[in-house]
Amino acid sequence: MQEEAAEELAPLIGRRAALRACGVPQATWYRKNRKSPAPVRPMTPRKVHPAALSAAERDHVRGVLNERFADAAPATAYFTLLDEGTYLASQSTMYRILRTHGEVGRDRRRQATHPPKTIPELFADAPNQVWAWDITKLRGPDKGVWYHLYTIIDIYSRYIVGWMVASRESAALAKRLIRQTAVKQRIDRDTLTLHADRGSSMKSKTVAELLIDLGVAKSHSRPKTSNDNPHIEASFKTLKYCPNFPGRFGSIQDARDFCQGFYTWYNHEHYHSGIGYHHPVDVHYGGAAAVRDRRIRVLAAAQAAHPERFASAGTPTPPDLPGAAWINKPKSVTTTDREDAAEKPTQN
């Protein structure tokens, strides 16, 4: 609006006076109303200051800072060299050299590099091929008092093959539980893999020697990767989220009694979504097929009695028998029957 007013006044009082009266800077008006493009200024190379360091000298300064003074600030390097009778460059020059290479504000020390941890890939299409185990804490009667629940689960059947509540976490106790469970399940040599996370008991020499004696292969999760041991973590969640799980246990015997009742229910009464809503005990000991056949007969009878109720959905069928189970599905699993087996969820 001010520029338009200035344009109207210009024929009467002159352009300069009109711009001044309307408060429009002359430079602004001339820049907007320029008839020809602004002249292109030639780019002249920046002159190197005669006192500047040469490329070789800059490389030398950077090398000293990154090797001898990798864990020190440039100021420390500057005064250390000065006290030794050496002057390489000013502090500001040292910072400029480091900034050019993106080495200001970060650790300049050589960092250790570790190869990526191997992803555990375990596959089971029958019971007692892959077990997973872990230890979780249960609150005791007082603050700071904890009980430790050791649990071993078969990832194919979701059957809890062994468990124990102890007052402490110990590799010796873990060894005893694993040995007793292997004997109870009649595990033959070179037929079972035992998977665990990377806790001290799981990686202990005591447990490792036992597995060698039993002919059991061992497998470990990657560091800080709970998804590498999902079946046991899901069972712990089912335990701690059940309606009658207490906030605290009055004694270690209370914890054992509760876990005894819980795992009896879990193995024999719990309908597990990951195994077609069968009981883990039926899948583990081969009774799931009979259960599914019985379900088929019941549904067929219901359809025969009232076919109109099943007209839209078709013939009802119960969930399929449990297919293969795995931890991080192996890339080698390519056969049709295994590909058709749905990836069973680990939620319970």
What CATH number does residue 234 fall under? 3.30.420.10
Residues 276, 315: one domain?
yes
What pLDDT sits at residue 126? 95
Residues 318, 187: one domain?
yes
What pLDDT sits at residue 110? 65
Residues 86, 176: one domain?
no
Residues 196, 68: one domain?
no
DSSP characters over 136-182: EEEE-SSTT-EEEEEEEEETTT--EEEEEEESS--HHHHHHHHHHHH
Residue 329 DSSP symbol? -
What pLDDT sits at residue 337? 42
Residue 90: inside a domain: yes
Residue 285: inside a domain: yes
Residues 348, 316: one domain?
yes
The encoded tokens of residue 182 equal: 């292997």
In contact, 327 and 121? CB cutoff 8 Å: yes
Residues 76, 126: one domain?
no
> What is the spatial distance between Cα 158 and Cα 155, in angstroms, rounded to a whole number?
5
Below-70 pLDDT ranges, the chain? 35-39, 106-114, 333-348
Residue 48: inside a domain: no
What is the total residue count of the chain? 348
Judged on CB neighbours under 10 Å (0-12, 13-18, 19+), 247 is exposed
Residues 179, 76: one domain?
no
What pLDDT sits at residue 348? 40
Residue 45: inside a domain: no
Residues 16, 151: one domain?
no
pLDDT in tens, 272-284: 999 999 999 999 9
Q: Which residues constitute the domain of residue 81?
A: 55-100
> What is the spatial distance between Cα 202 and Cα 195, in angstroms, rounded to a whole number?
9
> What is the spatial distance between Cα 82 and Cα 143, in angstroms, rounded to a whole number?
58
Residue 109: inside a domain: no
Residues 209, 125: one domain?
yes
Residue 299: inside a domain: yes
Judged on CB neighbours under 10 Å (0-12, 13-18, 19+), 275 is buried
Residues 85, 146: one domain?
no
What pLDDT sits at residue 344? 41
List, in order, residues 6 or more apart from 310 with CB less than 8 Å away. Answer: 302, 303, 316
Phi, psi for residue 76 in degrees, rounded to 5: -65, -45
Residue 94: inside a domain: yes
Residues 130, 257: one domain?
yes
What pLDDT sits at residue 109? 67
> What is the spatial distance between Cα 40 and Cα 91, in angstroms, rounded to a whole number?
38
Query: Which residue intervals of the chain are DSSP H helices?
Result: 2-13, 15-22, 26-32, 55-67, 74-83, 91-100, 171-184, 205-214, 230-240, 252-268, 280-284, 288-305, 336-340
Judged on CB neighbours under 10 Å (0-12, 13-18, 19+), 252 is middle
- Domain total of the chain: 3
What pLDDT sits at residue 338? 38
Phi, psi for residue 141 in degrees, rounded to 5: -70, -25
What pLDDT sits at residue 118? 81
SS3 89: coil
Residues 22, 64: one domain?
no
